[in-house]
Structure formats: C-alpha cells, structure tokens
Structure 1
C-alpha cells in the first residue's frame, strides 16, 4: 500500500512537470536546470520506491543535498512569481513564506524519500 502511494506521488510530480514542459514553461536557463534536477530526483525516488540501487549512496547524498538547495533557491528567488496576478496583493515577505510552505508540502515527501534512499 505504501509503495502504491509513493508511486501515485511520483506520478503526480512527473505529470505536473511534463505538463509544464509541454506548455513551454521551461524557457529560461534556470527553468531548464530545474527540469533536469527534477528528472534526476524522480529517478532517485523511483529507486527508493522500487528498492533499486542505481548509483552509489555517496552520489545520491550529493544529489539530494544539491537538489534540495537548488529547489529552495529556484522556488524562492529565481523563479519569476512577480507576474502572477494572485500574488500581486501579497507583500514580498508573506509571498516568500507562502512559497516556502508550498515547497515543503509539495516537495517534502520527495526529499524524505531521497534522504532515505541516500542515507
């Protein structure tokens, strides 16, 4: 049952990113880097869910820490949220707090699985 929930979560992450890719949302260099980082982290989560060791644990430790730092940097600072109408009325401090909470809720399980896979 747990593997089914992990697989559903992995499918939701992949579907969202592939939808963004098909809509052309990854036009900038940071956006393209984010897509590549996402694909690498999906591979790690898939390895965790299916109990397959693709690379050595040290490599996954580096990938996990680097990807986590990238997602925080990209989600909080590099991604252009300024043009979205829904965020115009929120102050920059509250906007960043909202983005952080969203990142934790959406990507928390991903990094939990990667942490378990690496360490």
Structure 2
C-alpha cells in the first residue's frame, strides 16, 4: 500500500510540473529555475520510490540540501512576486504565511524521499 501511495505522489508531482510547462506558466528565469529544480528533485524521488540507482549519493545529498533551501526561499519570498506567472491574481493581498507554510508542507514527502535516497 505504501508503494502505491508513493507512486501516486510521484505521479502527481510530475504531472503538475509538466502541466505548468505545457500551459506556459514558466515565464521568467526564476520560475524556469524552479521548474529545473523541481524536475531534478522529482528524479531523486523517482529513484527512491522505484529503487533505481541514479548518480551517486553525494549528488543526492547536494540535491536534498539545495532543493530544500530553494523551495523554502521560493515559497516564502518569491511566490507573491510571481503569482501572475502561475495564474494567481496579482491584485490580491500578499499570500498569508499559513498558506505558504501549507505549501511547504506539501513537499515534505518529496524531501523525505530524497533524504532516504541520499543518506
């Protein structure tokens, strides 16, 4: 059952990233960098879920550290600035901290998997 849930999470993360790419939501360099980092972390989670050995553990340790740091920085500092690129209303007030933290909560399984894969 756990493997099925991991595969569902993996599929959801990959589908979301590809959907944003197809819809042209990555309009500037910051959001494109976010896409690239998302794809790299997705490959790490894919390796963990499927038990496939890709690259070396030291690479995944760096991916874990820098990916997690990037997600926290992007969510807290850049989400409001690039809201229009992701289809959100730019006229609205700044996103509440609770909403940002719940967004970060969604990626906890991603970084748990990468951590297990790297260490």
* Residue in structure 2 matched with residue 20 of structure 1 by the alignment: 20
Q: Would the aligned equivalents of 1:41 and 1:114 in 2 still touch at CA under 8 Å?
A: yes
Q: TM-score, normalised by structure 1?
A: 0.86
* Residue in structure 2 matched with residue 34 of structure 1 by the alignment: 34
| Cα RMSD, aligned residues only | 2.1
Distance 1:88 1:70 in 2: 24
TM-aligned CA deviation for residue 102 of structure 1: 1.9
Give matches, 1:1-119, under 5 Å.
Answer: 1-79=1-79, 80-81=82-83, 84-85=88-89, 88=92, 92=94, 95-104=96-105, 106-119=106-119
- Structure with the bigger percentage of helix: 1
Task: Work out the number of aligned pairs and report it.
Answer: 115
TM-aligned CA deviation for residue 101 of structure 1: 2.0
Give ranges in structure 1 of 5+ residues lacking alignment: none
Closer/same/farther in 2, CA of residues 26 and 3 from structure 1, 3 Å limit? same
Q: Would the aligned equivalents of 2:60 and 2:117 in 1 still touch at CA under 8 Å?
A: yes
Closer/same/farther in 2, CA of residues 58 and 17 from structure 1, 3 Å limit? same
Closer/same/farther in 2, CA of residues 85 and 39 from structure 1, 3 Å limit? closer
Give ranges in structure 2 of 5+ residues lacking alignment: none
Q: Would the aligned equivalents of 1:48 and 1:113 in 2 still touch at CA under 8 Å?
A: yes
Q: TM-score, normalised by structure 2?
A: 0.86
